[in-house]
Amino acid sequence: MPQAGGGNYEITSTSFGPHHGPQSSMLLGVGGYGEYKGSNVHYDAVDEGCISCHMTDTAVGKVAGGHTMNITYEAEGEPAEFLTGCLTCHEDIESLDRNGVQTEIAAMIEKVRVLLVKQGLIVADSEPGAIPDGVAGTFTSEQAGALWNFKTVMEDRSEGIHNPGYTKFLLQTALDALNKK
């Protein structure tokens, strides 16, 4: 992984980035570019880890909860959210976009995406929401770190739910690094 102030960084593969399943790293707030000093209430407060939220006893058929690990699903052709696991701690939750966290993070993701395209680190024609291929080449360590953080957030696929503070940190660090260029 790139280090801050490390000069140039050679990206040798279009698959550059974290492992495709960084959910535990996101929960713990580790593995990204930059030095995070925050904590994560979901990791600290959830006794049974992933299963507390993703595998509650109440399930929606075979599409959410139970052994599916799914929190989102389709109901009658419309997107739906399985919030049973969330209700344990958030009695008033009505959506995964609690307090606008997912909306805020989506806006940050798009800002980072635009800068990564503009600076030639990702493929321009990737669709919003899709994890774009990177571009092999020589970049600054800050640019490579920004790409690493972007891909970490995208690969997590929780849109900030797993660790809102860390997700915002990764994206803000990416924005700061890319805006230096």
Same domain flag for 32 and 16: yes
Same domain flag for 135 and 116: yes
Tens digit of each residue's pLDDT (9 = 90 or more) over 39-48: 777 767 777 7
Examine residue 24 and state whether it is found in any structural domain, yes or no: yes
pLDDT of residue 170: 98
Same domain flag for 125 and 56: no
Mean pLDDT of the region 33-60: 80
Same domain flag for 106 and 167: yes
pTM of the complete model: 0.90
Same domain flag for 38 and 60: no
CA 43 – CA 156 distance, rounded (Å) = 15
Tokens representing 158 are: 């929780």
Same domain flag for 17 and 81: no
Range of the domain at 146: 8-42+98-180
> Which residue has better confidence, 131 or 145?
145
> Which residue has better confidence, 93 or 44?
93
Q: Quick check: 166 and 158 in contact, CB under 8 A? A: no
Examine residue 108 and state whether it is found in any structural domain, yes or no: yes
- Confidence band of 181 (pLDDT split at 50, 70, 90): low
pLDDT of residue 106: 95
Domain count, the chain: 2
pLDDT value at 137 more than 80: yes
Strand, helix or coil for residue 10: strand
Distance of CA 26 to the CA centre of its chain: 7
Tens digit of each residue's pLDDT (9 = 90 or more) over 98-128: 999 999 999 999 999 999 999 999 988 767 6
Average pLDDT, the chain: 89
